[in-house]
Amino acid sequence: MRYEYRIVPAPEKGEKLKGASAEARFAAAVERVLNDMAARGWEYQRTDTLPATERAGLTGAETVWRNLLVFRRPHAADASVFQPRLLEPPQTASVTAPAPQLWRVEDTHADPEAEPPAPPARPPRTPVGPHDAADVALRTALTGPIDGGSPPEGSA
C-alpha cells in the first residue's frame, strides 16, 4: 500500500485553560492538532525532532531543533484503497410478456386496414437514485476533496 505524508510543526505553546497546569495546556494544544488532522483523514505516525539552520545576525547561522508531527493516509490512486460493495439484486417485475405474434408477409398485405401487432411488454426499469455516502467517500478518496483540501495552518 502506498501512502502520502503530511508534516506539521508541533505546537510550541499550550492552549489557554483556566486552572490547568502548563503540561495540561500543552497536551491540549497537541491533542487539538491531532484531532484536527484525524478529522481530515490523516493518521498520526510519530513526532520527529530535526535540526534546521537559521540566520543569526547579519552573517551568522545557528542550528535550531524543530519538533514536527508526522501524519499519513493511503494514497488516493492506490487500488487497494478501493473497497467494493455488494449491490442489491435487480428487482424483476412478476408480469410475463405475451408471446410475440408471428406474421407472414402475405398476411400483412392481405388487410391494409389491419393494425400492426403491439410490441411485447417490457418490465419497468428501476430508476437510479442519488449516490450514497460510500460513493461520495470513494470519489473523494480517488480524486481528492471537493473544496481543494486546504492544508492546516503551519503545515509544510
pLDDT tens column, 101-136: 665 555 555 566 767 777 777 766 655 555 566 666
Is 1's pLDDT higher than 90? no
Domain assignment present for 63: yes
* Averaged pLDDT of the chain: 78
Domain assignment present for 77: yes
Domain assignment present for 114: no
Phi/psi at 69 (5° precision): -100, 130
Domain assignment present for 111: no
On whether the pTM is more than 0.75, the answer is no
Domain assignment present for 10: yes
Domain count, the chain: 1
Domain assignment present for 93: no
More confident residue, 153 or 19: 19
Is 45's pLDDT higher than 80? yes
For range 44-55, the mean pLDDT: 94
Domain assignment present for 73: yes
Task: Say how far residue 70 (Cα) sits from the centre of its chain.
Answer: 21
Nearest CA among 18, 4, 34, 54 for reference residue 152: 34
Maximum separation of any 2 CA atoms in the chain, in Å: 108
Domain assignment present for 5: yes
Q: Which domain holds residue 50?
A: 1-81+147-156
